[in-house]
């Protein structure tokens, strides 16, 4: 079932027109600015504090992209009025300052039916580049950019769908089934997981700085199940208790974890908030084959909190395959 979920991925090449300065964790600035511009562009009732009381919440692009709600009366994900946002952003360049003429490569992944809203992402990013992006300078100015190129990364042959001059309508992104992106599963007994960007997860009500395997799997299953439900309007048919029970038998052979703390200003809450998570790596040992599909899906869609900022990106490295 999960393998039938679709992914779309695009790469925006942005040419800087006015110098841009971003916060220490670049994805935070991007996500915040994008959300503000999206609501400014499409929201018909911006005077409302949130989408809960809006009559258009079930047919609005902003609500679908930024505040996806659970189905009324649903017995699945009880207590969750909102489900995870079905997109992730990250900037390839690992720096915070860009001069005019430099390029920024922005990778956007859309999960399931969110791909239908891709033109909104294009329009909003285009407008964001025109109106100003990044931290304000001494005179209150922001940076700027133009979309120079846009490629569909998961099309059968990577193709350019915008070259900076094309005026034609935006073609739909290719939607690739997850099963076509997964590596074959063999007997896996030793796996190294690299936590490329901060992984922010909780266990027993507290943020984790020691990522045991069952904690990683619990959070991966929770996110993947919600994303599948949001896209397909039905739950995943999995034996969660069995999977978690098996995951608790996996041991951490070696690990090197580091807690990284960032702060971001929340326009919605009107305050600066701390946002941290675990980076580094861990080597897990045991019968890992039953979990490999879910971990690969998490590798493609990220895991934990803050994924729209670029948090929770992991990389899997198989160290040993037993027979």
| CATH for 182-321 (3.40.47.10, 3.60.15.10, 3.30.70.1900, 3.30.1360.120) | 3.30.70.1900
Residue 318 forms beta bridges with which residues?
Answer: 191
> For residue range 112-142, what is the model confidence (pLDDT) as tens digits?
999 999 999 999 999 999 988 888 877 778 8
| Calpha distance 67→62 (Å, rounded) | 7
- The phi and psi torsions of 149 (rounded to 5 degrees) equal -155, 150
| Calpha distance 129→141 (Å, rounded) | 13
Residue 247: the pLDDT is 95
Q: pTM of the prediction?
A: 0.88
Q: DSSP character for 32? A: H
Residue 321: the pLDDT is 53
Residue 264 forms beta bridges with which residues?
Answer: 273
| Calpha distance 15→196 (Å, rounded) | 26
| pLDDT beyond 60 at 283 | yes
Whether 64 contacts 117, CB under 8 Å: yes
> For residue range 51-62, what is the model confidence (pLDDT) as tens digits?
777 777 778 888
| Calpha distance 17→2 (Å, rounded) | 42
Domains of the chain, by residue range, sit at: 2-178, 182-321
| pLDDT beyond 70 at 317 | yes
Q: Mean pLDDT, to the nearest integer, of 272-283?
A: 86
Place of tokens 């950019």: 145
- 16-30, 184-198, 205-219 — which is least confidently predicted? 16-30
Strands in 28-162 per DSSP E:
87-91, 97-98, 103-111, 144-152, 159-162
Residue 219: the pLDDT is 94
Pick from 34, 43, 38: nearest CA to 108: 34
| pLDDT beyond 60 at 265 | no
Q: b/e string for 281-301 if b means 16 or more Cβ within 10 A?
A: bbbbbbebeebbbbbbbbbbb
> For residue range 66-115, what is the model confidence (pLDDT) as tens digits?
878 666 656 565 555 567 889 998 899 988 899 999 999 999 999 999 99
- 303: confidence class by pLDDT, cuts 50, 70, 90: very high
């Amino acid at each position: 079932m999960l393998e039938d979920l679709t992914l779309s991925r695009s790469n925006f090449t942005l040419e800087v027109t006015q110098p841009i300065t971003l916060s220490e964790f670049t994805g935070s600035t991007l996500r915040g600015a994008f959300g503000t511009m999206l609501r400014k562009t499409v929201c018909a009732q911006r005077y409302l504090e949130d989408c809960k009381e809006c009559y258009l919440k079930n047919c609005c692009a902003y609500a679908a992209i930024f505040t996806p709600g659970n189905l009324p009366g649903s017995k699945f994900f009880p207590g969750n009025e909102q489900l995870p946002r079905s997109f992730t952003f990250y900037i390839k360049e690992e720096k915070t300052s860009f001069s005019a003429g430099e390029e920024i490569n922005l990778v956007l992944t859309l999960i399931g039916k969110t791909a239908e809203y891709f033109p909104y992402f294009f329009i909003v990013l285009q407008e964001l580049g025109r109106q100003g992006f990044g931290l304000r300078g001494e005179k209150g100015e922001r940076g700027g950019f133009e979309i120079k190129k846009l490629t569909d990364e998961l099309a059968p042959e990577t193709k350019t769908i915008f070259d900076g001059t094309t005026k034609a309508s935006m073609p739909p992104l290719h939607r690739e089934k997850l099963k076509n992106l997964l590596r074959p599963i063999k007997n896996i007994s030793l796996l190294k997981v690299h936590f490329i960007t901060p992984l922010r997860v909780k266990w027993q009500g507290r943020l984790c700085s020691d990522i045991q395997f069952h904690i990683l799997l619990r959070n991966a299953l929770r996110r993947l199940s919600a994303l599948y439900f949001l896209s397909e309007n039905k739950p995943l048919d999995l034996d969660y208790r069995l999977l978690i029970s098996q995951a608790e038998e996996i041991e951490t052979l070696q690990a090197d974890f580091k807690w990284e703390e960032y702060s971001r200003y929340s326009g919605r809450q009107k305050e600066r908030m701390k946002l941290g998570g675990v980076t580094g790596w861990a080597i897990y040992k045991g019968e890992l084959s039953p979990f490999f599909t879910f971990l690969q899906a998490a590798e493609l869609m990220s895991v934990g909190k803050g994924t729209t900022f670029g948090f929770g990106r992991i990389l899997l490295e198989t160290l040993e395959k037993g027979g």
